[in-house]
Structure 1
Amino acid sequence: METMNTPTRWDLDILQYGFDLNELKRHMSKIETKLIDTNLNEQDFVTLSEIIKQVESLESYYYCLTVENINTSVLTVLKGTISMLKSKVRHINSNLQESLSHMSKKQFLNWSKSIDQKRFISELGKNGEVQRAEVKIISSFAKETLSSLEDMYTQLLNQFKVKEIFDHVENELTFSEANHLAMSHTDRNIRNSVFKELNHTLESQANLFASIYNQIVGLRLNEYKIKNEDFFDESLKMNGLTHSTLKTMWDVIDSNIDNLSNYLKIKAKEVGKARLSWHEVMSSSEEVSFRINFSQAIDFITKSLTNFDTNISTFVHEIIIRGWVDAEQRNTKPINGFCAPFPYEGESRISLNYDESIDSARRLAHELGHAWHFQQIGRIPSLRFSEEFFEMTMAETSSIFFETIFIDYVIQESKDLVTKKAILGSKIERSLNYLMSIRGAYLFEEKFYEYRKNGQLDVNMVEELSILCQEKAYGNSLSEYEPFVWIKYDQFYQADTPFYNYPYTFGFLLSIGLIELAKDDEHFHKKFQQFLAETGMLPLEKLIKKHFKIDLSEQKFWQQSIQRLLKDIELSNNS
């Protein structure tokens, strides 16, 4: 296999602007000159859809630069320019919708017959429906302001300096460095010390973060009020779900919370404690001593996926060779990885800090799942940005599907019983993170929106709310909770994605159910590939029913998925 024994660096030079920032500016200027009013004909629509893909590639390039040694002022300007280009695209689409709204029904039907790509018609609105002018104005203003607030959050976090003493020498750590050490360092004492100092630093600045988050939620609530929408409507639409299906999933998790939390109580007893703390639960999986270098990880991932679909294993091998993955450890990288799609070029780029732990190998498999998903969507023409139709519920199903197949393969192939149990324990803890930690984040976000309707929440109220929601999500099974989750998780500050958290829980349970389904269906891999390729063409619930005959509104499916996790817990307790 032509992989490397050391973590790879991605290749950004093959993109049309590489690392030449002057060329990048010229490229953005060319795109801006093309953004002129578009006529109601298919050729103009195709041209606009290509421009949209170019803008999306620019946005992915920006995310790639955030983990390089690039001046923050340059990044701020770049992000501002991208926001401006996206705003212009949306303005053009609004004008197209308005033009359609003036057509009679007969004119609209005649016009629609001239458009071969029927997706264009549906994206511009049924029968030319158009938003009220004041709604368009407030939506445009909201998106730009939310983007600015997200940038403010990022800049504030990047300025953090956490002081810590190593070998009698005082060091200044960035937020990313401190968070990584607090959650992943192999020395428990260092982990605990950095965690404590990081939280102390966050506490000193918590008022600023509370102000930013209050503004983000307040702005969204005002927009929803003008649109006469519930604050959940946008997120549910973006994820292709109904509220009843989401509630069904949470209800099933709630009904199993005692059985799930029992695992944490057993783990606590093993170390002589009545209960574990949030920090212990979230960092304990890092104590798995199993080491796997980058080349071995790629080998394991491809072999695990070969049993499912040889096309996927070939794809993984090829993108490593082509320089799509940056696995080098750098202080500029966040604790989690990401996969950035370049739809115009038909490629992706993956970033993560690969440290030879089983967890970093799992993250790699997760991001490769995203890359495979992006590849299936391909270059389908669209007048919308992918954030408007690329359902996170679907995205996380693909990525968690990959990571689960990989972890199951590693457990199966492991000959050492101690290592096998440790990796199984790591898998269970990760699974509980999807069902408990993320549930706590979801509950916090939901409650915050409800309370924010009546005014801003001060920092003490925010911290208290965060802890109360974690207590419910963990079934009151922990000794201490984390009051600053709402600062540490950048998901809460995403400008384009409200309620970012629950798609992970959804994708986790859906992927487990699909893996079980795949075991008895020799044609499953073809169905799965087509399912991913049709992202955004139908709401997720309908796509699942179309391809797999599964009704997500019924508790049966969700219970079957959780039952698979409970079997893992039983196996771990008996081994």
Structure 2
Amino acid sequence: METIKAQTRWNLNNLLYGFDLEKLSKHINSIKEKLTDLETYSVAKILKENELLTLSKIIKQIESVESFYYCLTTENVEPALLTSINGSISTLKSQVRSILSHLQETLLELTEKEFDEWASGINEKRLVTDVFRGKRIRKEEVNKLSFAGETLSCMQEVYEQIRNNLVVRMNLVDEEIELTFSEANHSAMSHSDSSKRLLIFKELNRSLGKQANEFASIYNQMVGLRLNENRIRNVHYLDESLKWNGISSTTLNVMWDAVDSKSKELSEFLKIKAKEAGKDKLTWHELMSTPEDVSLNFTFSQAIEGIIKSLQTIDSNISEYIKEGITKGWVDAEQRKTKPFGGFCAPFLAEGESRISLSYDNSIDSARRLAHELGHAWHFQQMKVVPSLRFSEETFEMTMAETSSIFFETAFINYVIEDTQDESIKKAILGWKIERSLNYLMSIRGAFLFENAFYECRKNGQLDVWQVEKLSQQSQEKAFGNGLSEYEPYVWIKYGQFYQADVPFYNYPYSFGFLLSIGLLEISKGNEGFCKKFQGFLSETGMLPLEQLIKKHFHLDLTQPEFWQRSILSLIKDINQYKNSGS
């Protein structure tokens, strides 16, 4: 029975200037004027604590404007206006970085004694650290790294342009159609007709193959630039990524070793699914695109109720928070053409709110996605707003970002499975859950293995298309325990994460966040003190590396295999339950 009449349209009017875009434009201009004043001041004098705190507040204002922009992209707003707002945000961010770059150069001209005097006058020591991202380096290194960063950004843009301009042409039921990359990639995995799914999948790969040389060239150049950066800094190619994610190489290796040690048990599900389909082995496309027969539907209100109930016993504060957010119109669940595939959660940290967008269609996957985004919102709600000279995107560790969201969605799915009386539906949902879980531990594992292998090979020179694709296939075979008959072609082109200028090794944080979240969910069972620890853990995001935060709040040592093994055991229990359940 529905007890929550949840509105499906969000309220943007109480954020910034709502839909009064003229006032928003004036607000953006006022931020620009403040930055220009700071820029002028920095030419004559070295920025001290007062000026740095002002810059920190401006950064928070820019972030709020950017979050509001994301919300506007789902509304019926003139594209030219959106382009203008986005351009203004990019300009403001560039201006901030220019001020910090100038400050870096000025400080590099100081003697050690002069630098120490400047630093001693700043009480908020994080501001000093933020200027140099941890350590003071030589001016020549700053120039070289700045050039490399600009080049990587240009290469990312080239990749995006080529991919977005890709056209997939095919004959579908005696009709010639044209699809963009995004449309084809989505339809290849989710079209309701399995024969059409496969046809689109093959045609997309054929189209990608025609331009594979260009994509291979771009990726070769980007990795080559990064390897050159590493030589300048005298670091390993994974070091920067690990630092950004707040973990050590030991922890990452222990996590992957735990996954590999259970590869046989995890691959058992692939055999079960193949047997159900009357085959020796499934292809990657069959495994990932065949929808489970999950006929369980949720209205938006029912989904909210289910999410609240699934988290009630863990932390009643979470349930009250969700009720408040829904009541105040923080979620927009309407289906509109202006919305992209999937959903997002836009944080307004300074305002203490978030806004969630998704196209809700009453399916269990929509309900899961809603739980996922509410998990992000809860995380943002706990975070302390502290002075910083870095944008949140630079300090919000991806390993941390996916923890609360996957925690929420897993708690919800577990609740649905337990609450479902129909055994056939229960099994279908469980199978769907396992497939999503294996995506974190197999597909993403394959992407990480590929990326790591490519970096090693690239040290000896560029790789041609055949070599790149061979590395990709070998990585997938290992990650899936040789459990499939065919693997995903051109995954290294399809995954835009490989081409992110600012984020090397994008993939493993999702696997990390998944295993961390389900491990914490197990710890939460019957643990009265868990909610306080979890809130404290999330509240200090970016203040300490994740590995240290876990040890501080939960007394867990992630460099040891026990935690990871327990997390994986939870998934193996699901596989055994699926295997032993009735058809």
Report the TM-score when normalising by structure 2: 0.89
Asked whether the 8 Å contact 1:94–1:130 carries over to 2, the reply is no
Question: What's the secondary structure of 2:183's corresponding residue?
Answer: helix
Query: Please, which of 55, 67, 74 is the counterpart of residue 48 of structure 1?
Result: 55
Cα distance, 1:573 vs. partner?
0.5
1:536 pairs with 2:542: yes
Cα distance, 1:288 vs. partner?
2.2
**Structure 1 residues 522 and 313, CA gap change in structure 2 (3 angstroms):** same
Asked whether the 8 Å contact 2:6–2:326 carries over to 1, the reply is no
**Structure 1 residues 403 and 129, CA gap change in structure 2 (3 angstroms):** closer
Aligned residue number for residue 60 of structure 1: 67
CA distance in 2, matches of 1:487, 1:23: 41
- For 1:382, the aligned partner's letter is S
Q: Describe how 1:15-26 pairs up with structure 2 within 5 A.
A: 15-16=15-16, 18=18, 26=26
Asked whether the 8 Å contact 1:442–1:499 carries over to 2, the reply is yes
CA distance in 2, matches of 1:21, 1:149: 33
CA distance in 1, matches of 2:105, 2:86: 29
1:382 pairs with 2:388: yes
Question: What's the secondary structure of 1:537's corresponding residue?
Answer: coil
**Structure 1 residues 419 and 129, CA gap change in structure 2 (3 angstroms):** closer
Cα distance, 1:543 vs. partner?
0.7
Cα distance, 1:107 vs. partner?
8.0
- For 1:120, the aligned partner's letter is L
1:252 pairs with 2:253: no
Question: What's the secondary structure of 2:492's corresponding residue?
Answer: helix
Query: Please, which of 347, 353, 363 is the counterpart of residue 347 of structure 1?
Result: 353
CA distance in 2, matches of 1:43, 1:124: 15
Asked whether the 8 Å contact 2:314–2:525 carries over to 1, the reply is no
Question: What's the secondary structure of 2:486's corresponding residue?
Answer: coil
Question: What's the secondary structure of 1:150's corresponding residue?
Answer: helix
**Structure 1 residues 290 and 401, CA gap change in structure 2 (3 angstroms):** same
Question: What's the secondary structure of 1:16's corresponding residue?
Answer: coil
**Structure 1 residues 72 and 507, CA gap change in structure 2 (3 angstroms):** same
Aligned residue number for residue 512 of structure 1: 518
Query: Please, which of 433, 454, 463 is the counterpart of residue 469 of structure 2?
Result: 463
Aligned residue number for residue 431 of structure 1: 437
Q: Residues 116-164 of structure 1: CA distance to partner in whole angstroms, max 9, x if unpaired?
A: 43433443469x9522112222333333333333333334333344345
Q: Residues 66-119 of structure 1: CA distance to partner in whole angstroms, max 9, x if unpaired?
A: 55677877766655554443333234334445666636669847963x544343
Q: Describe how 1:306-345 pairs up with structure 2 within 5 A.
A: 306-330=312-336, 333-345=339-351
Query: What number of residue pairs does the alignment pair up?
Result: 571
1:237 pairs with 2:243: yes
Query: Please, which of 545, 557, 566 is the counterpart of residue 551 of structure 1?
Result: 557
Asked whether the 8 Å contact 2:62–2:92 carries over to 1, the reply is yes
CA distance in 2, matches of 1:58, 1:493: 26
Aligned residue number for residue 228 of structure 2: 222
Cα distance, 1:33 vs. partner?
2.6
Question: What's the secondary structure of 1:338's corresponding residue?
Answer: strand
CA distance in 2, matches of 1:183, 1:395: 26
Aligned residue number for residue 210 of structure 2: 204
CA distance in 1, matches of 2:143, 2:426: 57
Question: What's the secondary structure of 2:355's corresponding residue?
Answer: strand
Asked whether the 8 Å contact 2:184–2:200 carries over to 1, the reply is yes
What RMSD, in angstroms, separates the aligned Cα atoms of the two structures? 2.9
Aligned residue number for residue 376 of structure 2: 370
1:119 pairs with 2:136: no
Asked whether the 8 Å contact 1:164–1:172 carries over to 2, the reply is yes
Cα distance, 1:199 vs. partner?
2.3
**Structure 1 residues 465 and 107, CA gap change in structure 2 (3 angstroms):** closer
CA distance in 1, matches of 2:20, 2:165: 26
Q: Residues 198-217 of structure 1: CA distance to partner in whole angstroms, max 9, x if unpaired?
A: 22332333333333333332
Aligned residue number for residue 529 of structure 2: 523
Aligned residue number for residue 33 of structure 1: 33
- For 1:55, the aligned partner's letter is I
Cα distance, 1:544 vs. partner?
0.5
CA distance in 1, matches of 2:219, 2:336: 28
**Structure 1 residues 144 and 107, CA gap change in structure 2 (3 angstroms):** closer
Cα distance, 1:273 vs. partner?
0.4
1:479 pairs with 2:478: no
- For 2:445, the aligned partner's letter is R
**Structure 1 residues 433 and 206, CA gap change in structure 2 (3 angstroms):** same
CA distance in 2, matches of 1:270, 1:146: 46
- For 1:237, the aligned partner's letter is K
- For 1:117, the aligned partner's letter is E
CA distance in 2, matches of 1:354, 1:374: 22
CA distance in 1, matches of 2:26, 2:230: 37
Aligned residue number for residue 173 of structure 1: 179
- For 1:173, the aligned partner's letter is L
- For 2:442, the aligned partner's letter is M
**Structure 1 residues 31 and 522, CA gap change in structure 2 (3 angstroms):** same
Cα distance, 1:551 vs. partner?
0.5
Q: Please list every run of 5 or more consecutive structure 2 residues that lacks an aligned counterpart in the other structure.
A: none
Cα distance, 1:182 vs. partner?
2.0
Aligned residue number for residue 570 of structure 2: 564
Q: Please list every run of 5 or more consecutive structure 1 residues that lacks an aligned counterpart in the other structure.
A: none
Question: What's the secondary structure of 2:211's corresponding residue?
Answer: helix
Aligned residue number for residue 85 of structure 1: 92
**Structure 1 residues 297 and 569, CA gap change in structure 2 (3 angstroms):** same
Asked whether the 8 Å contact 1:421–1:572 carries over to 2, the reply is yes
| Structure 1 stretch displaced more, 34-43 or 442-451 | 34-43
CA distance in 1, matches of 2:161, 2:80: 10
- For 2:268, the aligned partner's letter is N
Asked whether the 8 Å contact 1:177–1:331 carries over to 2, the reply is no
CA distance in 2, matches of 1:512, 1:385: 29
Aligned residue number for residue 154 of structure 1: 160
Asked whether the 8 Å contact 1:176–1:332 carries over to 2, the reply is no
Question: What's the secondary structure of 1:173's corresponding residue?
Answer: strand
Aligned residue number for residue 268 of structure 2: 262
Aligned residue number for residue 274 of structure 1: 280
| Structure 1 stretch displaced more, 453-462 or 167-176 | 167-176
CA distance in 2, matches of 1:88, 1:498: 24
1:400 pairs with 2:403: no
Question: What's the secondary structure of 1:217's corresponding residue?
Answer: helix
Cα distance, 1:552 vs. partner?
0.4
Cα distance, 1:558 vs. partner?
0.8
- For 2:288, the aligned partner's letter is M
Asked whether the 8 Å contact 1:182–1:195 carries over to 2, the reply is yes
Cα distance, 1:522 vs. partner?
0.3
CA distance in 1, matches of 2:72, 2:246: 31
CA distance in 2, matches of 1:565, 1:78: 45
Cα distance, 1:563 vs. partner?
0.9
Question: What's the secondary structure of 2:483's corresponding residue?
Answer: coil
Cα distance, 1:167 vs. partner?
5.8
CA distance in 1, matches of 2:407, 2:300: 20
**Structure 1 residues 553 and 111, CA gap change in structure 2 (3 angstroms):** closer
Report the TM-score when normalising by structure 1: 0.90
